[in-house]
Copies of this chain bind each other. A is one copy, B any other.
Amino acid sequence: MTIKDIAKACGVGVSTVSRVLNGRPDVSAEVRERVLNMVEATGYIPNNSARDLGRSRSDAIGVVVRGTGNLFFSEVLKTAALEIDRRGYTMVPRFIGEDDDEVKAGAILEREKKLQGLIFLGGRFDYTPAELSLVGVPYVCCSFTNSFGSLAEEEYSSVCIDDFRTAYQAVEKLIEHGHRRIAALVPSCSDHSISELRYEGYKAALREHDIPFDEALVMECGGCFTMPEAYEGMAKLLERETDFTAVFVLSDTTAIAAIKAMEDRGRRVPEDLSVIAIDGLEISSYTVPTLSTMTQPAEEMGRESVKLLLEVMDGGPHRHIRLEPAFRTGASLRTL
């Protein structure tokens, strides 16, 4: 696939494709969109290295934010922006949907904006070296790591909590409060990503405490962590007429939506059902009831990701930083 193929497929000239890929404004929005869609559909990645040699380096650090409705990412992004500013670089954000391909988006952003480095804020856990070879600058995986993939540890950096262990701790907290019939509301049990990792943590906690695993207590509610999906998933779980006293939910906002589904069906939290989640957003300490949750250190995550990226850009080794979550007590959890 060459630039000529892209131009031909779009019915425009090579120079127009080139202008789009270089982020030049003198192209109509309609043509720009057509070209970028074609680039995405075909997987074409422009090779700019020859041209770049003649250019001065930029001070741009890209941040690809996957999942535009994720409030936790908003927190991380702000701290990352402040740290990038403070260090004299320019942050160039790009927001993509939860289902979009962040590696492709990052590779395009890198070429469009002449990035010096890249932060993936949210992404898949199963990258392959071939896939990541598209990215020609140092990058940091922020809020995730390559648990299911085949990247060599010394070839990428990551800053995140231990998702398996955090889920384990959350479920253990429910067990400590006397719960044994514990449901799990997860986007997917086998997405090779954050959801699978936290689901495995849930299962391990049950196993460790000799609680039999019951498939009927697990609800997969769709891959995108949205509140409507979580609401529907919880509603379906309640219709199953399976007994349970507590629910482990994967994130704060989906837990808030799940609690709404319970209340709408006459189940009170925490009197009838206890709920625990992972995130620790400020807003979930003001909902009724307040949410019991494992708090991820959002600010530290944003700041450490930028620091680590600058180290690597400066020739330092890739590293993997694991941050510690903290349990935040809320009214959604009661002792049986």
Given contacts A253-B283, A260-B288, whether A32 and B88 have CB atoms under 8 Å apart is yes
Q: Which of B88, B91, B257, B259 contacts A92 (CB 8 A)?
A: B91
From A1-9, A19-27, A147-155, A197-205, give the one contacting chain B. Answer: A19-27
Q: Mark A71-101, 1 if CB is under 8 A from B, else 0.
A: 1001000100110011111111111000000
Across the interface, do A90 and B23 meet the contact criterion of CB distance under 8 Å?
yes
Question: Are the C-beta atoms of A59 and B24 separated by less than 8 Å?
Answer: yes
Docked complex Cα distance between A69 and B286 (Å): 14
Q: How many copies does the complex hold?
A: 2
Cβ of A39 within 8 Å of any chain B Cβ, yes or no, is no
A78-B95, A95-B82 known; A25+B227 contact, CB < 8 A? no
What's the Cα separation between A29 and B82 when bound, in Å? 12
Assess whether A282 is in contact with B69, with CB atoms less than 8 Å apart.
yes
Q: How many residues of A contact B (CB 8 A)?
A: 44
Whether A86 lies near B283 (C-beta < 8 A) is: no
Whether the pair B88, A90 counts as a contact (CB closer than 8 A) is: no
A68 interface contact, C-beta 8 A:
yes
Q: Is the CB of B256 within 8 A of A88?
A: no
Q: Which of A23, A88, A92, A227 has the most CB of B within 10 A?
A: A88
Q: Does A52 sit at the interface, judged by CB under 8 A?
A: no
What are 7 A-B contacts with C-beta separation under 8 Å? A24-B59, A24-B88, A26-B88, A29-B86, A81-B93, A259-B288, A260-B287
Q: Given contact pairs A23-B89, A256-B286, enumerate 8 new A-B contacts (beta carbons under 8 Å).
A: A20-B88, A23-B59, A33-B86, A69-B282, A85-B94, A90-B92, A260-B286, A287-B287
